[in-house]
Amino acid sequence: EAQVTQNPRYLITVTGKKLTVTCSQNMNHEYMSWYRQDPGLGLRQIYYSMNVEVTDKGDVPEGYKVSRKEKRNFPLILESPSPNQTSLYFCASSLYTPGRYNTDTQYFGPGTRLTVL
Q: Which residues bind another protein (CB under 8 A)?
A: 4, 31, 33, 35, 40-45, 48, 50, 56, 58-59, 90, 92, 94, 96, 101-111
Q: How far apart are CA 39 and CA 52, in angstroms?
A: 32
Shortest separation between residue 80's beta carbon and another protein, angstroms: 26
Residues in the chain: 117
Q: How far apart are CA 73 and CA 4, in angstroms?
A: 10
Q: With respect to another protein, which residue has the nearer C-beta, 44 or 71?
A: 44
Q: How far apart are CA 87 and CA 63, in angstroms?
A: 13
Shortest separation between residue 102's beta carbon and another protein, angstroms: 6
Q: With respect to another protein, which residue has the nearer C-beta, 20 or 97?
A: 97
Q: With respect to another protein, which residue has the nearer C-beta, 69 or 102?
A: 102
Q: How far apart are CA 101 and CA 109, in angstroms?
A: 25
Q: How far apart are CA 4 and CA 105, in angstroms?
A: 13
> Residue 115 pairs with which residues in a beta bridge?
12
Shortest separation between residue 15's beta carbon and another protein, angstroms: 25
Shortest separation between residue 45's beta carbon and another protein, angstroms: 5
Q: With respect to another protein, which residue has the nearer C-beta, 29 or 116?
A: 29
